[in-house]
Amino acid sequence: MRSTNARPRPVAAPSSAAPRSAGVVKQLSRLDRFLPLWIALAMAAGLLLGTALPSLNDWLDALQVGTVSLPIAVGLLVMMYPVLAKVRYEDLGRMSDDGVGNGRFFGTSLFLSWVVGPALMFALAWIFLADQPAYRTGVIIVGLARCIAMVLVWNDIALGDRERAAVLVVFNALFQVAAYALLGYFYLTVLPGWLGFDTQGFEVGIWEVARTVLIFLGIPLAAGYLTRRIGIRRQGRAWYEERFIPRIAPLTLYGLLFTIVLLFAIQGDRITSAPLDVALIAAPLLVYFALMWGAGFGAGRVMGFPYPQTTALSFTVASNDFELAIAVSVGVFGAASGQALAGVVGPLIEVPVLVALVYVALWLRHRLTWPATLVQPVAARTSAATRTQPDL
């Protein structure tokens, strides 16, 4: 039998996939293609709304439960639900050689996403925003939220491995429920204390973060999982993926834009008095996305992964769940906080940067020599086994 430890031979990128690499931006839906523009327009609309309705803050405060206004809470939940209804929970563990079963690939992703990523954002936040505790905290919150949605878009356009990316998305969604509060408490309270950093009063308890995660991630996660399970059982996966998901997918953008409008209406005075704050917040985010993508891509090359797996790894570790980051920032610190503003700036920076990195990945695909893909999904291997016998 052919040994699976044999060194894969270098091969050129397959020409059959070449047409998919053309026109990266054109492959995005209209909503996704202009996401930075929609966000910028929502910011402007929020500032105008706050100016036109000075009593809006009082009205939102009257509908407040804890630190979250009910209208904003609705926007956050609507924003999260379609994202979690898209996750392919049924694929977790289905492929014995992919994802969880592939120790090298999965372990590398785990280490970069949940160890290197948060630590890097913590360092960048303190380097760039040492004298801005609210913005610094908000940026760290962004770094703790691993991507569970848009990464599938970037990975697909860049010709990455869909199966592995899907498995990683499932894991990130489940792991965030269990670990996000612990990581938040560690990086926002424990680690600064160990290092002797002055947090200027911005320390959070583990229950504050856990409660927010359970509400704004746990509720839509349960709803998304049940929707997917019931929908696929009754109508089939093809109907669910091709008809139902496209119908609810725009709700994420609508919820995001609705939330941004309200947040910027509340924070209008702060933003107009210090317009450079957005650029200040953007600086560590730009560096973070570039370094994390480079770390993922470089790790894939060093470990000898083929291009599709390397691409899936790089985009998974570089992307962040900005929906969860906004929810946690608002839920813990309030809609008028600097942390919430930092969370909103996250997608404004992440989307154009990752679109640019898609172009970089496709360019490197043709410029570098890649090993052949030896591992196939279970379905493909089963189909092949019925046609031919293995080599002896």
Q: What is the pLDDT of residues 212-245, one digit of tens each?
A: 788 887 888 899 999 999 999 999 999 999 999 9
pLDDT (0 to 100) of residue 234: 94
pLDDT at 268: 74
Class of residue 27 by CB neighbours under 10 A (exposed 0-12, middle 13-18, buried 19+): middle
Q: Which amino acid is at 1?
A: M
Per-residue pLDDT tens for 318-344? Answer: 998 887 888 888 888 888 888 888 988
Residue 3 corresponds to which tokens in the numbers above? 């040994």
pLDDT at 9: 47
H/E run at residue 11? strand 10-11
Is 217:81 a contact under the CB 8 Å cutoff? no
Residue 144's SS3 state is helix
Specify the pTM. Answer: 0.75
- Residues (pLDDT < 70) of the chain are 1-33, 65-68, 91-102, 149, 199-205, 373-392
Judging by DSSP bridges, how do beta strands 64-65 and 68-69 pair with one another?
A: antiparallel
Instruction: Show the tokens assigned to 300.
Output: 């894939």
pLDDT score recorded for residue 12: 45
CA distance 300 to 97: 16
CB-based contact 159:19 (threshold 8 Å): no
Q: What's the pLDDT score for residue 205? A: 66
The residue type found at 344 is: V
| 302 CB-contact burial (10 Å; exposed 0-12 / middle 13-18 / buried 19+) | exposed
Cα angle value 97/98/103 (rounded, 5°) = 80
Identify the pLDDT of residue 139: 95
Residue 91 structure tokens: 């694929």
What pLDDT is attached to residue 206?
72
For residues 177 and 160, give the distance between their C-alpha atoms in angstroms, rounded to a whole number.
26
